[in-house]
Amino acid sequence: MKTNLPLHIPNIHIDKVKFIAPCTHRPLGKTMYLDQDDLGFVSFSATAQDISLKDGWETIHVRSRQINDGTGSAEMIEIHCCPPLVLQRHNLFGHSDLQSYIYALLNLITRKLDINVDPFDRMEWDRGGIKITEAHLTTNFACDESLILPIIQAIDENKTQGKQRIIPTSITLNGGIKRRSTFHALTIYGKAQELRERFKNPGEVRRRLIVEAEKGIRVEVKLYSQSLKTLDLNYVMRWKDIDIADLFFNHLDKYKLPSSIQLAITDSALALLSKPEKNIYNYWLSGADLNSQFARTTVWKHTKSILKKTGIDISGNRRPVEHSNIDLNRIFSRENTLPIPDWAIGTEYYFSPDQKDFFKGSKHGIGRVAVQLPDGE
């Protein structure tokens, strides 16, 4: 895996992951059964458990899978959590080494549950034979906090369907579909506001995190099961040579965020258009719905041509403005991602990729990241 170095741009990190790993263990929770006609009731899974590694720390959602009727043991374990929250107590930033995160999580949870890991299971972990069903890729783009609400409002106005906006400072796009996508989604929001609401009485470290969050706008690319399968990224081993930044920005581009705030076309750019293209552009500019008046292929052809000639994207619902101090092409660019702050490097507030084997020490201890922090930190 081409891991992004912490102080290099673009800095993308894995914010959430759901995976199923080989792990023979006594089932957690209440065993669940299926009635398979002639076979009778067959055990297959157990109720999920939310397990906290330390009081006040983020929980890991754990479920025993593939329960063997003969031995009574579960052969797989499913984990759903936010690795940075579990490993460094916040998720403002992190790293992009998927296997490092997953290996650390498996070590943490098996030690917490006193599971004696089978050597063959551990070999599968090392090999990357772990199924991934969800992964969120995240970054923070440098942006004045006062611009976050106008940006999200513009995106909301530009997208006519496939969106959720529960609070003003956050919006999720589902690729144009009305229900939750099984492929991918995109969330844009203000992280600083979230942290201020969560940290009511922040200590020094949390104040620093809030200050860092105030420097930007956050974007999360959420990859779900069908997308991971299509991309052939549904096993950890297949992430080995993936450029995480390319994966992130390729999906970000699909949502065409810069089309939400565009400047009015210049006369010189308008002159580059053919007569049919000018007619289509002016019709769109008037507020008309192109798809209701023209064939889909016609709209697609002219949209592509107009974008290439003028830089104006007429696929959205929001029309150009005469003036704007917001340049979304610059804001959502690779060069504009925020690095991990210097003060966090080498501390427990940044769990680095080279800490993959961090928890292979004492049987009863889980290392410095599990030390109880003072109140308010």
CA distances from residue 302 to 192, 256, 275 in whole angstroms, order as listed = 40, 17, 11
- Quick: pLDDT tens for 191-215: 999 999 999 899 999 999 999 999 9
| Distance from chain centroid for Cα 369 | 23
Helices (H), 141-243: 148-158, 191-198, 204-213, 225-230
Torsion angle in degrees (nearest 10) through CA of 121, 366, 363, 352: 50
Question: What pLDDT shows up at residue 342?
Answer: 93
The predicted model gives 164-173 an average pLDDT of 94
Query: Percent of the chain scored above 90 by pLDDT?
Result: 70
The predicted model gives 179-200 an average pLDDT of 90
Q: How far apart are alpha carbons 320 and 304 in whole angstroms?
A: 17
- Quick: pLDDT tens for 324-350: 999 999 999 999 999 999 999 988 899
Backbone angles phi, psi at 46, to 5 degrees: -140, 160
The predicted model gives 44-64 an average pLDDT of 80
Backbone angles phi, psi at 230, to 5 degrees: -65, -40
Say which residues have a Cβ less than 8 Å from residue 297's Cβ, sequence separation at least 6. none
Judge if the upstream peptide bond of residue 10 is cis by omega within 30 degrees of 0: yes
- Quick: pLDDT tens for 110-128: 989 999 999 999 999 999 9
Work out the widest C-alpha separation in the chain, in whole angstroms: 77
pLDDT band at 71 (very low <50, low <70, confident <90, very high): confident
343: its two tokens: 């003060």
Check whether 268 has a pLDDT greater than 60.
yes
Q: How far apart are alpha carbons 106 and 78 in whole angstroms?
A: 10
Burial 90-105 (b: 16+ CB within 10 A, else e): bbbbbbbbbbbbbbbb
More confidently predicted of 3 and 369: 3
Q: How far apart are alpha carbons 214 and 143 in whole angstroms?
A: 8
Check whether 289 has a pLDDT greater than 50.
yes
SS3 336: helix
Check whether 3 has a pLDDT greater than 60.
no
Question: What pLDDT shows up at residue 269?
Answer: 94
Question: What pLDDT shows up at residue 176?
Answer: 53
Question: What pLDDT shows up at residue 5?
Answer: 47
pLDDT band at 4 (very low <50, low <70, confident <90, very high): very low
Burial 282-305 (b: 16+ CB within 10 A, else e): eebeeeeebeeebeeeebeebbeb
Question: What pLDDT shows up at residue 178?
Answer: 55
If you average pLDDT over every residue of the chain, what do you get? 87
Q: How far apart are alpha carbons 362 and 375 in whole angstroms?
A: 26
SS3 292: helix
The predicted model gives 235-255 an average pLDDT of 95
The answer to whether the CB of 104 falls within 8 A of the CB of 358 is yes
pLDDT band at 70 (very low <50, low <70, confident <90, very high): confident
pLDDT band at 175 (very low <50, low <70, confident <90, very high): low
Q: How many CA atoms lie within 13 A of 183 on its CB side?
A: 10
Q: How far apart are alpha carbons 152 and 25 in whole angstroms?
A: 46
